[in-house]
Amino acid sequence: MNSIYIDGKRMENSAVVASWRKGEPAYNHRKSLATDGESLYSYDLKIGHNTGSACVVVDFTAPTGHFRSQTTSCHVNLAKRATTASCVWHPLVWEESPLREQCPF
């Protein structure tokens, strides 16, 4: 993730999510939300993956029973609003997916 901070642009959270959707590196002012254009991270937790044709978001929020932090929940909810409901995955589905490490497409 270090190259994100070199190549990426510093911006607001919503703009980081928009950059992720466009496949561009970006990070927020505290570096708590960052993307290399493919993966979206809340702190060091991968919360999303851009396959090139769809953006998958992992629902690390309290309703799924996989709450991590209030800040991560805010990041996840921003990303959820930027994609379709069918691309929001439960963390248990995500754990079994090859997307959590890399894109198989």
Please give the pLDDT value at position 8.
Answer: 72
Q: What is the DSSP string of the chain?
A: -HHHHHHSEE--HHHHHHHHHHT--EE-TTSSEEE-SSEEEETTEEEEEE-SS-EEEE--SGGGT----HHHHHHHHHHHHTS-GGGEE-HHHHHHSGGGT----
List per-block mean pLDDT (blocks of 10 residues) for the chain, which spans 105 residues: 70 96 95 95 95 95 96 98 92 88 49
